């Protein structure tokens, strides 16, 4: 059974309803997809091809690539933990005496074994709800969007749990950008590599703007800081990228919550790296023959089951140097 976060997650995540089997699920309800439904008989090549060109209206895939860049691997793989303290060791006894050999040093990297997890969702669609020719593609898009939102939540939760935390109050007398720079320097002192990725929760971003806008009447700099784009702020902070997480999820039956809230994260992550390159977080993915996602369709007399699956595993390769600010 796939272990997936339900849309009404709280601090103790609820789980999606169990897959009752082909043709047995309630109509219109998304469930965690059971292994038994993934048979080549039900594989849909046209709908799988549709996932390749699909564009997410919430841009969640781009956000996910910033938060935890994808690294293609086999289902089972070995990777190096980013414990790089030895790379920064320094000696005072590297002078060779006459007739003797140079001092020998060794680097003993730590390896870990992992596997990508098969994740998927299924939706049972009543034939009376089928409208037009593209209804299958519409439901595939909805399932993909939900799977990506689950991944964004996993990535932010792992980073928050791994980070060393500090609390800051941002008001008219504060310097939010100075606090973020200090956070990056603290991370660099512990890991040796300065974080290149700064991620604001939407609430933290708004508090930054409020602080500079409140001070704008007495400081021309505050006005300029408030008007900065994400790209301009990244250049000012010395980071490769600044991202603002605006994605939301259904936190209770009647309320929605921002995925990252009022936190700021600072860490090192690089798109396009290999499984052994140093970074704080990696999203290991196993591509399928059809692309990143695969689609299965099971037809019944009055309903159609549509399943979307993929393989991934988000891993914190080292928590050393990951920093977060809790903003109020």
Quote the pLDDT of residue 223.
85
pLDDT in tens, 191-224: 777 889 999 999 999 999 999 998 876 777 788 8
Instruction: Over range 240-244, report the average pLDDT.
Output: 95
* Long-range CB contact pairs, 207-211, < 8 A, 24+: 207/170, 207/176, 207/262, 207/327, 207/328, 208/170, 208/176, 208/177, 208/327, 210/170, 210/171, 211/170, 211/171, 211/172, 211/174, 211/176
DSSP lists the bridge partners of residue 299 as 304
Instruction: Over range 36-57, report the average pLDDT.
Output: 84
Higher pLDDT, 87 or 189: 189
Question: Tokens 């939760």 sit at which residue?
Answer: 157
- The top-scoring range by mean pLDDT among 15-19, 40-44, 182-186, 213-217 is 182-186
Instruction: Over range 267-282, report the average pLDDT.
Output: 86
Higher pLDDT, 146 or 25: 146
2 SS3 class: coil
Higher pLDDT, 130 or 210: 210
pLDDT over threshold 70, residue 158: yes
Contact 68, 282 (CB under 8 A): yes
| Residues contacting residue 242 through CB under 8 Å, at least 6 positions apart | 198, 199, 200, 230, 231, 233, 234
**pLDDT band, very low/low/confident/very high, at 166 (cuts 50, 70, 90):** very high
Lowest mean pLDDT among 35-49, 184-198, 249-263: 35-49
pLDDT over threshold 70, residue 62: yes
Average pLDDT over the chain reads: 85
pLDDT over threshold 60, residue 29: yes
Quote the pLDDT of residue 89.
59
Quote the pLDDT of residue 132.
81
Q: What is the share, in percent, of the chain residues with pLDDT greater than 70?
A: 85
Instruction: Over range 132-139, report the average pLDDT.
Output: 91
> Domain spanning 30-85+110-327 has what CATH number?
3.90.1690.10
How far, in Å, CA of 322 to CA of 161, rounded? Answer: 10
Contact 24, 266 (CB under 8 A): no
Quote the pLDDT of residue 276.
78
Instruction: Over range 64-80, report the average pLDDT.
Output: 92
How far, in Å, CA of 69 to CA of 66, rounded? Answer: 6
Quote the pLDDT of residue 82.
67
Record the pTM. Answer: 0.80
What residues does each domain of the chain span? 30-85+110-327
Contact 54, 141 (CB under 8 A): yes
Closest by CA to 267, choosing from 278, 277, 281, is: 281
Closest by CA to 28, choosing from 255, 310, 305, 309, is: 305
pLDDT in tens, 288-308: 888 899 999 999 999 999 999
Lowest mean pLDDT among 29-38, 204-213, 224-233: 29-38
Higher pLDDT, 103 or 242: 242
Locate 164 and state its tokens: 């060393």
How far, in Å, CA of 259 to CA of 78, rounded? Answer: 30
Count other Cβ atoms within 10 Å, centred on residue 225.
Answer: 22
Q: What is the share, in percent, of the chain residues with pLDDT greater than 90?
A: 57
Closest by CA to 326, choosing from 158, 164, 194, is: 164
């Amino acid at each position: 059974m796939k272990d997936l976060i339900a849309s009404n997650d709280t601090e103790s995540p609820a789980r999606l309803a169990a897959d009752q089997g082909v043709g047995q699920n309630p109509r219109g309800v998304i469930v965690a997809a059971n292994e038994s439904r993934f048979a080549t008989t039900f594989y849909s090549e046209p709908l799988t091809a549709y996932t390749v060109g699909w564009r997410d209206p919430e841009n969640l895939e781009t956000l996910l690539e910033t938060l935890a860049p994808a690294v293609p691997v086999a289902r089972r793989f070995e990777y190096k933990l980013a414990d790089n303290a030895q790379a920064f060791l320094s000696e005072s006894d590297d002078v060779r005496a006459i007739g003797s050999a140079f001092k020998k040093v060794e680097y003993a990297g730590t390896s870990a074994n992992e596997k990508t997890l098969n994740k998927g969702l299924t939706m049972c669609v009543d034939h009376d709800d089928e409208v037009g020719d593209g209804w299958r593609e519409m439901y595939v898009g909805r399932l993909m969007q939900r799977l990506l939102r689950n991944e964004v939540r996993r990535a932010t939760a792992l980073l928050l749990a791994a980070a060393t935390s500090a609390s800051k109050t941002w008001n008219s007398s504060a310097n939010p950008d100075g606090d973020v720079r200090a956070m990056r320097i603290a991370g660099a002192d512990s890991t040796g590599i300065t974080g290149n990725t700064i991620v604001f929760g939407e609430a933290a971003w708004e508090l930054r703007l409020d602080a500079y806008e409140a001070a704008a009447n007495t400081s021309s700099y505050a006005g300029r800081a408030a008007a900065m784009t994400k790209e301009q702020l990244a250049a000012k902070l010395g980071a490769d990228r600044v991202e603002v997480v605006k994605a939301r999820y259904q936190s209770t039956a009647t309320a929605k919550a921002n995925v990252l809230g009022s936190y700021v994260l600072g860490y090192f992550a690089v798109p396009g790296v290999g499984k052994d390159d140093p970074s704080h977080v990696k999203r290991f993915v196993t591509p399928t023959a059809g692309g990143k996602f695969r689609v299965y369709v099971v037809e019944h007399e009055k309903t159609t089951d549509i399943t979307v699956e993929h393989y991934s595993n988000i891993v914190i390769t080292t928590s050393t140097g990951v920093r977060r600010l809790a903003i109020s």
